Structure 1
Amino acid sequence: MTSAFAGVPGAVVDDGVLRHLGNPLGEQRMLADGRAVAPLGDRSVIAVPGEDRLSWLDSLTSQAVARLAPGQSTELLVLDPQGRVEHVAGVLDDGETTWLLVDRDDAEGLLAWLRRMRFRLRVDPRDASDEVAVVGGTAAAVAALGSALVWTDPWPSVAPGGWGYAAVDPHPGADRDWAEALLPPADLDRLAEAAVAGRLALAGTDAADALRVAAWRPRRGDVDERTIPHELDWLRTAVHLSKGCYRGQETVAKVHNLGHPPRRLVALQLDGSGSVLPARGAVVRVGDEHVGEVRSAALHFEEGPIALAIVRRSTPVDAALTVDGPDGPIAAAQETVVPPEAGATAGVPRLPRLGRRKAATPPA
């Protein structure tokens, strides 16, 4: 797969995705400050036109979207009958079409499922990835691109009908400023030309993902075959607890009101003495005991090597953890995202954030 950005100096492109331009840490800083935008070649877009589109999506998914106003952004999950996460999408409606922003690896499966669920309703979902491309950054940086279609990430605000389990103060995503514009694919060539001419700064998906991990923001790649929304604090933005019935709702309600999620998300500050980050799926241990797996890892421009991991609910919140790395065990300090008591007790005490480490950062 080719990329419009392959000719930009320093560009590292993998399967059509601009990963970085030679300075991932500097790109993170510029992206967070609104001085760069990130072409998100790892995203796909599904368009859902038709008069019944919003009520139809409302009946199938975890989020209340029946009354979604044009230009309003939200997020939804498609769950299986046992409440496990199957698909994830950002949602934006323009008054005529609902646009679903999804991870590229998830798009084909979600589209196939939506088409099977049409019945006789007036909806016609299609793959729109050849019609629009996705570019992310701060709201102001994205607005400057001139698109009429902009999805604003609701994370980490608690949406109407949602519930936030993370009890840290402040939440590490509290200042997160992230939006994604839908642009004609031809505009990518324009952005690449502006970058070559020095009129525009670009960042790669590695930089965008590091900012996401630092904000404890889950995405489809953090899901395995057992994940329920509670485990990743996804009731915050993607679940409406009092809407009508949908597939998987019984599990969502039971775990939130009567039980506890069997696993919980933790943020890890990794020992930075090594040079290689753990891979997705790397085993997390207490001593020799396997208690979980890494879901995402990144080298952050302020916090150094960090990760999101899923561990058993019974894992002590103060346990010393290690992660299996390619060069041996990596020491990891955990910070609670979803507390062990999340669920039936719902209310949890607020906790201070761990002290931030400063990573060495090349000049931007």
Structure 2
Amino acid sequence: MTAPSPFLSRQGAVVLPDVADPGVPSHYGNPNIEQRMLVAGEAIVDLSTRGIVSITGEDRLSWLNSMTSAELTRLPVGASSETLFLDPNGRLEYAAGIIDDGVTAWLLVEADDVAPMVAWLTRMKFMMRVEVADRSAEFARIGMMPAQAPLDLAVASPNGVPLVWTDPWRDVVAGGHQYARGEHPSAEWRWTEVLVFRDELTALAAGPLPAAGSLAAEALRVAAWRPRTSTEADEKTIPHELDWLRSAVHLSKGCYRGQETVAKVHNLGHPPRRLVLLHLDGSDSVLPRHGAVVFADRKGEPTAVGAVTTAAMHHELGPIALAVVRRNVDPGARLTVDEDGTAIAAAQQVIVPSDAGAVADVPRLPRLGAVRRTQ
């Protein structure tokens, strides 16, 4: 358990219940202005309650590569990557941002995933030359969207390499695949996280750098269609549903746990659900909670077709939300979100199309007994 964040003592800091990042300031008085400051590269975000796991030892990258979805064996020192931990059926268990400093692989994970991930990785060591540790009490994460270079921070570099992670979501990585079509909003997503020694957080919180709350970061993430495991995923999620093949999956690497499902759905099938962006009616000034049911109008009757995963008030787009819905939901269907009895109208913007997957060019075999016609 880490100590309370010193950013909570900043003037105007407000902590809201039921947010994606509890224990850090949700905002400092004006989330819309804080979003603009983030976009301009002028503010930092306290992410000190999120988790950090370290893996040391000569086999660390080849070991991770054998178990997870990304190609990590040739990860350059100081480079940023992302990988997914899947179960044997291809369902998502954990996602991790990765930086390797030549001595240690640093995994940036959700707070609730640290303990089970460390326990599972420790069980999977066997004879490999690796050591796994929870480093969340020693280091903390700070988020930003730098215009050019990270803001002036005392970035941790315990092995001589600054621990700066740049989110690969902005582009489709080598070996990845994007289901979303047309212009992708991730082009404006310059999300970067730096690791600092936790004992320097107090000085950083008291320093001159402007800070934005977690709500500002979440609003920009939603607008970039960027998924998180703690919000967009559940026990049934496969990466295809969230378009996560674009940044964390290498489709032609060797075998890993869950790889068969990843390949089968991508090449021959379709994901059963799909991620959408909802543009919400703001007339009632109500944002739906995580898990709020999404309904589609079918023959005059509302039918439950999915759920909201993250809702946010964006400084330009207004009220928006990410939601996961059934694959066969008509993109033109009228949707509503039920928020504690309030029906919120929603317009759907397709992220993962209903025909995502089935990309293999499999020749169609003639039916048995069919007569071939000749000209």
TM-score when scaled to structure 2? 0.89
SS in 2 for 1:115: helix
SS in 2 for 1:236: helix
Give, in whole Å, the separation in 1 of the partners of 2:94 and 2:29: 32
Indicate whether 1:10 and 2:23 are aligned.
no
Give the number of aligned pairs. 342
CA contact (8 A) 2:65 2:71 kept: yes
Letter matched to residue 51 of structure 1: E
Aligned residue number for residue 74 of structure 2: 67
CA contact (8 A) 1:46 1:127 kept: yes
Aligned residue number for residue 368 of structure 2: none
Aligned residue number for residue 251 of structure 2: 241
1:106 CA displacement: 1.6
Residues 282-301 of structure 1: pairs in structure 2 closer than 5 A: 282-287=292-297, 288-301=302-315
Aligned residue number for residue 185 of structure 2: 172
Residues 150-169 of structure 1: pairs in structure 2 closer than 5 A: 150-169=164-183
Letter matched to residue 59 of structure 1: S
Structure 1 residue corresponding to 2:48, chosen from 38, 41, 47: 41
Residues 136-285 of structure 1: pairs in structure 2 closer than 5 A: 136-139=143-146, 140=148, 142-147=150-155, 148-169=162-183, 171-194=184-207, 199-221=208-230, 222-285=232-295
Farther off after superposition, 183-192 or 53-62: 183-192
CA contact (8 A) 2:8 2:24 kept: no
Unmatched 5+ stretches in structure 1: 348-364
The percentage of counterpart residues that share the same residue type is 56
1:42 CA displacement: 3.6
- Structure 1 pair 105–346 and aligned structure 2 pair: CA distance change class (3 A): farther
1:326 CA displacement: 2.6
1:286 CA displacement: 0.6
CA contact (8 A) 2:268 2:360 kept: no
Structure 2 residue corresponding to 1:106, chosen from 100, 113, 119: 113
Letter matched to residue 312 of structure 1: R
Farther off after superposition, 107-116 or 65-74: 107-116
Unmatched 5+ stretches in structure 2: 17-21, 156-161, 362-375
- Structure 1 pair 174–346 and aligned structure 2 pair: CA distance change class (3 A): farther
Cα shift readout 1:22-76 (whole Å, capped 9, x = no counterpart): 1111111101111111011341100111110000000010111011011110101
Indicate whether 1:27 and 2:34 are aligned.
yes
Indicate whether 1:321 and 2:335 are aligned.
yes
Q: Which runs of 4+ in 1 moved over 4 A?
A: none
Aligned residue number for residue 366 of structure 2: none
Give, in whole Å, the separation in 1 of the partners of 2:349 and 2:360: 19
Give, in whole Å, the separation in 2 of the partners of 1:38 and 1:181: 10
1:345 CA displacement: 3.7
Letter matched to residue 167 of structure 1: R
1:320 CA displacement: 1.0
1:143 CA displacement: 4.4
Cα shift readout 1:61-109 (whole Å, capped 9, x = no counterpart): 0111011011110101000111000011001100000000011122112
SS in 1 for 2:344: strand
CA contact (8 A) 1:37 1:141 kept: no
1:327 CA displacement: 4.7
Indicate whether 1:124 and 2:137 are aligned.
no
- Structure 1 pair 88–132 and aligned structure 2 pair: CA distance change class (3 A): same
Aligned residue number for residue 115 of structure 1: 122
1:110 CA displacement: 1.3
TM-score when scaled to structure 1? 0.91
CA contact (8 A) 2:79 2:99 kept: yes
Cα shift readout 1:315-345 (whole Å, capped 9, x = no counterpart): 0111111111135110000000000111014
Cα shift readout 1:244-272 (whole Å, capped 9, x = no counterpart): 10010000000000011011110000001
1:116 CA displacement: 1.0
CA contact (8 A) 1:48 1:125 kept: yes
1:146 CA displacement: 3.8
Give, in whole Å, the separation in 2 of the partners of 1:130 and 1:117: 23
Letter matched to residue 99 of structure 2: L
* RMSD between superposed Cα atoms in Å: 1.4
Aligned residue number for residue 359 of structure 1: none
- Structure 1 pair 91–16 and aligned structure 2 pair: CA distance change class (3 A): same
Cα shift readout 1:213-249 (whole Å, capped 9, x = no counterpart): 1100001121011100000000000101000100100
SS in 1 for 2:210: coil
Give, in whole Å, the separation in 2 of the partners of 1:41 and 1:207: 16
CA contact (8 A) 1:166 1:338 kept: yes
- Whose radius of gyration is greater, 1 or 2? 2
SS in 2 for 1:46: strand
Give, in whole Å, the separation in 2 of the partners of 1:345 and 1:246: 21
Aligned residue number for residue 361 of structure 1: none
